[in-house]
């Protein structure tokens, strides 16, 4: 089960990470933040004056994020049962019920949040989530993105554990526009963590998992070689050529959030890994 995988990944504390009293805190990289009288996390409907963030979130060790609110609630309920009887009964409430931008559920040390679809949507959530973890003085937090994806040359339903998130040009980088400057950020992930998770997966029967690069695009149709969008200007051959080149570059699946997830977590000192389930859908990417 997921619960048996998670504690394992927490064991491997890297010696090179900044720590304080042996604990690894979240690094907010904004000199203005601590001078602010109040920090409002607009899209989460939370704030430092309206909520006791250390009390609400101080014990968080695992943050699980995914696109769909319903799936994140289902996963939170699953974790809730896995972690054993807790006060509050069998249901869990949406902490962000005051807004319909994102949903958030907490059970014990596990926080589950939806992020919608695409880089800008997850990026707004990550800014506010990372500030939340900072204000709540959380330490030793592991971030996990669990999403669906389109696999390339792999069996439908298999799980891809991402070792590197790459862009549409197969480069391990994320281009962040800051005002009108384009800054390139690394999207390298913790490869030991990926190996560790892969070893866990081998212990579970009938659990098809593999390690590979994950490609992140800004568009689901034209950006991922789909022939069934409202616009399509390339041929079936162009598509196959592109996906074959992606496969040769080590890409095993395509989704829409991994590069900014990897880049932001890396910058803020958070251990992070995306894992994606390769969708079982009419559109799967089977290469010859």
CA of residue 73 relative to chain centroid, distance: 16
Q: Pairing mode, if any, of strands 271-278 and 142-151?
A: parallel
Say how many residues touch a copy of itself, by CB under 8 A.
65
252 labeled binding residue? no
Q: Are 164 and 253 in contact (CB under 8 A)?
A: no
Which one among 39, 94, 140, 163 touches a copy of itself, defined by CB under 8 A?
Answer: 39
DSSP codes, 71-132: HHHHHHHHHHHHT---TT-S----TTTT-SS--EEEETTEEEEE--SSHHHHHHHHHHHHHH
Query: Quick one: residue 106, left, alpha or beta (phi over 0 = left, psi -120 to 50 = alpha)?
Result: beta
Smallest distance, Å, CB 125 to a copy of itself?
9
Which one among 137, 234, 280, 287 touches a copy of itself, defined by CB under 8 A?
Answer: 234
Q: Which residues contact 36 (CB under 8 A, 6 or more apart)?
A: none
Which one among 100, 188, 192, 286 touches a copy of itself, defined by CB under 8 A?
Answer: 100
CA of residue 129 relative to chain centroid, distance: 12
Q: Which residues contact 157 (CB under 8 A, 6 or more apart)?
A: 208, 277, 278, 280
30 binds a copy of itself (CB under 8 A): yes
Q: Pairing mode, if any, of strands 110-114 and 142-151?
A: unpaired
**Computed over its alpha carbons, how large is the radius of gyration of the chain?**
19
Smallest distance, Å, CB 122 to a copy of itself?
9
* Site for a copy of itself, residues 146 to 175, rule: CB under 8 A: 168-170
Which one among 19, 68, 173, 186 touches a copy of itself, defined by CB under 8 A?
Answer: 68
50 binds a copy of itself (CB under 8 A): no
17 labeled binding residue? no
Q: Among 76, 32, 16, 247, which Cα is nearest to 154's?
A: 247
- Cβ proximity to a copy of itself: between 200 and 276 the closer is 276
Tokens of 138: 């959380």
31 binds a copy of itself (CB under 8 A): yes
247 binds a copy of itself (CB under 8 A): no
Which one among 28, 193, 197, 254 touches a copy of itself, defined by CB under 8 A?
Answer: 28
- Cβ proximity to a copy of itself: between 17 and 191 the closer is 17
Tokens of 27: 């690094």
- Cβ proximity to a copy of itself: between 13 and 249 the closer is 249
Smallest distance, Å, CB 187 to a copy of itself?
15
* Segment interacting with a copy of itself (CB under 8 A) among 9-17, 37-45, 139-147, 149-157: 37-45
Q: Are 284 and 151 in contact (CB under 8 A)?
A: yes
- Cβ proximity to a copy of itself: between 40 and 211 the closer is 40
Helices 258-267, 119-135: crossing angle, 10 deg rounding? 30
Residue positions in the annotated binding site for phosphate?
101, 145-148
- Which residues sit at the interface with a copy of itself, rule CB under 8 A? 28-33, 36, 39-40, 42, 67-70, 100-101, 116-121, 123-124, 126-128, 130-131, 134, 168-170, 176-180, 183, 217-223, 225, 227-234, 238-239, 242, 245, 256, 264, 267-268, 281-282
């Amino acid at each position: 089960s997921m619960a048996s995988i998670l504690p394992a990944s927490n064991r491997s504390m890297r010696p090179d990470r900044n720590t304080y009293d042996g604990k690894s805190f979240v690094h907010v990289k904004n000199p203005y933040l601590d001078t602010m009288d109040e920090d409002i996390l607009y899209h989460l409907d939370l704030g430092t004056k309206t909520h006791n963030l250390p009390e609400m979130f101080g014990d968080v060790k695992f943050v699980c994020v995914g696109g769909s609110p319903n799936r994140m609630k289902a996963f939170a309920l699953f974790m809730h049962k896995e972690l054993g009887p807790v006060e509050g009964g069998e249901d869990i409430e949406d902490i962000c019920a005051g807004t319909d931008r994102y949903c958030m559920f907490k059970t014990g040390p596990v926080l589950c949040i939806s992020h919608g679809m695409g880089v800008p949507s997850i990026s707004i959530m990550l800014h506010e989530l990372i500030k939340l973890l900072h204000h709540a003085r959380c330490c030793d937090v592991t971030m996990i993105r669990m999403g669906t994806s389109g696999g390339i040359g792999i069996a439908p339903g298999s799980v891809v554990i991402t070792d590197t998130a790459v862009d549409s040009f197969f480069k391990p980088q994320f281009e962040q526009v800051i005002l009108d400057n384009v800054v390139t950020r690394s999207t390298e992930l913790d490869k030991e963590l990926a190996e560790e998770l892969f070893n866990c997966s081998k212990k579970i029967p009938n659990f098809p998992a593999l390690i590979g690069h994950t490609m992140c695009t800004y568009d689901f149709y034209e950006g991922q070689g789909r022939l069934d969008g409202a616009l399509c200007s390339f041929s079936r051959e162009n598509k196959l050529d592109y996906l074959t080149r992606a496969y040769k570059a080590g890409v095993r699946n395509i989704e829409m959030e991994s590069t900014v997830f990897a880049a932001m977590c890396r910058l803020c000192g958070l251990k992070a890994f995306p894992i994606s389930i390769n969708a079982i859908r009419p559109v799967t990417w089977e290469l010859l």
